[in-house]
Amino acid sequence: MKKYLLTGLLAWLPLALTIWVLLWLVGLLDAIFGGILTGLSALTPGSTGVQIEQLRLIPGLGVVLVFSVLLVTGALVSNVAGRWWLSQWGKLFTRIPVFKSIYNSVKKVSDTLFSSNGNAFRTAMLVQYPRAGVWTIAFQTGTPGGEVAGHLGPDFVSVYVPTTPNPTSGFFLMLPRAEVIELKMSVDEALTYVISMGSVAPSPAVGLPTK
């Protein structure tokens, strides 16, 4: 009976966790949108404020609106006029003290990570960490630049070493390219390997011997 219970748990656990994460995300967006509606209803007198407040009762409306805003924004920014307005928007934010530091940092990171021409998180690697002889999975985020590159010299790579089982935290390292091993596995396979603590091994690459 214990074996059957564990097998049933393993069968349902991925689906249950996926649904839980999606429900949490929907709830978070609905809560943010609900707060905005509460503010609008407080500023709007009469029956209009009551009607705005009733929108909070619609489940999932925050997700639909966020998706719609992202879709419309992407369509507008895809043309020349939209890109010009986006640049003016960015210039406005860069003139605000304190806010500009956060905005510029987040923008540079997002542009690097989500750029179709970039190499960030597109290559999985084996690196020795936290000491020589101990290997772990890492992801290449680029190459050192600026003053750092001048001190390190050529042929270094920047990598991100995720922690297990939460890959959103980790360590940033700069290593000689000769000391890392580039893997043929996909980033998804490498992430699964990290999150599962090595229990879900990726399929062996073609041409490499299995042990």
Q: Indicate the pLDDT class of residue 108, thresholds 50, 70 and 90.
A: low
Burial class (CB in 10 A: 0-12, 13-18, 19+), 30: buried
What's residue 113's pLDDT? 58
- In this predicted model, which residue has the larger pLDDT, 147 or 47? 147
- pLDDT band (50, 70, 90) for residue 115: low
- Whole-angstrom distance, CA of residue 60 vs CA of residue 76: 25
Q: Amino acid letter at 104?
A: N
Q: How confident is the model at residue 139 (pLDDT cuts 50, 70, 90)?
A: very high
Of 125 and 195, the one with more pLDDT: 125
pLDDT of 157 strictly over 60:
yes
- Pick from 35-44, 55-64, 175-184 the range whose average pLDDT is largest: 175-184
| pLDDT score at 182 | 94
Omega within 30 of 0 (cis) for the link into 144: no
Question: pLDDT value at position 109?
Answer: 63
How many beta carbons lie within 10 A of that of residue 37, not counting itself? Answer: 19
Residue 199 confidence (pLDDT) above 70:
yes
**pLDDT for res 116:** 55
